[in-house]
Amino acid sequence: MTARANSITTVILGRTLAGLAASPGTTLAGGSIADMFDTNKRGLPMSVLTMITFMGTSFGPGLMGFVGQYCGWRWIIYIDVIVSGLLSLALIFLTQETRGSVLLSRRAKKLREEKNDPRIQCRSDAERASLLILIKISMTRPVYLLCTEAVVFFISVYISMAWGTMFLALEATSLVFENVYGFTLGQSGAVFFTMFIGGFLGFLANFYQERLYQRTVATRGPEARLYASCVGGLLFPIGLIIFAFAPGRTHWMGPVMGLFFTYFGIFCIYLASMNCTQEPFTKREAAQYAHPYFAPTDLADAYTIYASSAISGQSLMRNCVAGAFPLFTYQLYGRLAMLATVLSATPFVLLKYGPKIRAASLFSKELERMRAANPNQ
């Protein structure tokens, strides 16, 4: 639809439908990793997922700038359709179910058929709701977590601002390098490879973050995931300041270095948001560390099991802000560094007060009430 469009209305409609179709992948990927890996082993898979996210956002405009320059904008959409179609087929035929309740349901069904015993059921079968109720829960739970869970909310605000800045940079980069430095469309698109370089170095830095996490998780808890975001949160506004004031005053590598620091910081913030949104531990995992810190919190039955819902709520805010920021590029261009500096305090605040914030969680208290009523759950 978009590739054959002859009006802006058709383009907007086509892009809206494409966004609706593609949105589940953003949340399900993090939820699938939460299903497959224990909390203390989740850092590397999440960093790989984040790096691939940055690769797509970098290589897309980086390569498609030349496609648009030499082949026309419609071929950008055609290539997108071809790649997305092949990946969709790969997902359908090569991936497997990861959610525990679904796997148990399938196992129970197989045993019922083998033993011809209708009494064999798992809890998810007995408690399965109607389709309308499932749709309602899927649409409301992310918003509920976003509005009631302080950790989810504040991290979502932080990553939303960072993510919105990255999409604003898609517009600002063309303004700077084409208007100030005389770059062609393809050359200005190639600047976005800076995003991949910053993301890749952030990926390498995450190995040290993982060492810090393993060393301090017993005393810090889930907030041990935030050390890299503290550094990234400081580099993020520094990069914005360089990118805002370097154009026209320095060589074109000046604003490129500003973008590098910005994207490195965004990578650290994004990775921390993905991990902490689904982080706190199950009772089994908490027992591995034998530390009283985890006894009263035990929130992973909320975030690990419902990681996709928590990430979905975060993604809702993040993508709404990312969609709005480019509309105000000229107004926001020189002001984001101040906002980024203020929000850079977020990981430091969560490092210090995160346990108290999570202890006051309404969702956590409800889970404790449910466990008290069902001690064998």
* Cα–Cα distance, 306 to 364 (Å, whole number): 13
Instruction: Evaluate if residue 223 carries a pLDDT over 80.
Output: no
Task: Place 261 in a pLDDT band, splitting at 50, 70 and 90.
Answer: very high
Q: Which of 193, 230, 197 is nearest to 212 (CA)?
A: 230
Q: What is the pLDDT of residues 293-319, one digit of tens each?
A: 332 223 333 355 555 666 677 777 877
| Residue 247, phi-psi category: left (phi > 0), alpha (psi -120 to 50), beta (remainder) | beta
Lowest mean pLDDT among 192-201, 262-271, 314-323, 368-377: 368-377
Instruction: DSSP letter for 328, please.
Output: G
Average pLDDT over residues 191-218: 86
Would you report the helix, strand and coil content of the chain in percent, each value rounded to 5? Answer: 80, 0, 20
Q: What is the pLDDT of residue 290?
A: 36
Name the residue with tokens 């892009």.
Answer: 15
Q: What distance in Å separates the CA atoms of residue 132 and residue 353, rounded to the nearest whole number?
A: 39
| pLDDT tens column, 35-80 | 787 767 777 888 888 888 888 878 887 788 788 878 888 888 888 8
Mean pLDDT on 325-350: 73
Q: What is the mean pLDDT of residues 117-133?
A: 71
Radius of gyration of the chain (CA): 23
State the Cα–Cα distance between residues 218 and 201, nearest whole angstrom: 27
3-state SS class at 321:
helix
Return the ∠ at Cα 46 (arms to 337 and 33), rounded to 5°: 140
Would you state the pLDDT for residue 334? 61
Count of Cβ atoms closer than 10 Å to residue 109 Cβ: 14
With b for 16 or more beta-carbon neighbours within 10 A and e for fewer, the 151-166 pattern comes to bbbbbbbbbbbbbbbb
pLDDT average, residue stretch 237-261: 88
Angle at 362 between CA 360 and CA 365, to 5 degrees: 85
Neighbours of 287 (CB within 10 A): 12
In the structure, what pLDDT confidence band is assigned to residue 362 with cuts at 50, 70 and 90?
A: low
Please say whether the beta carbons of 361 and 292 come within 8 A.
no
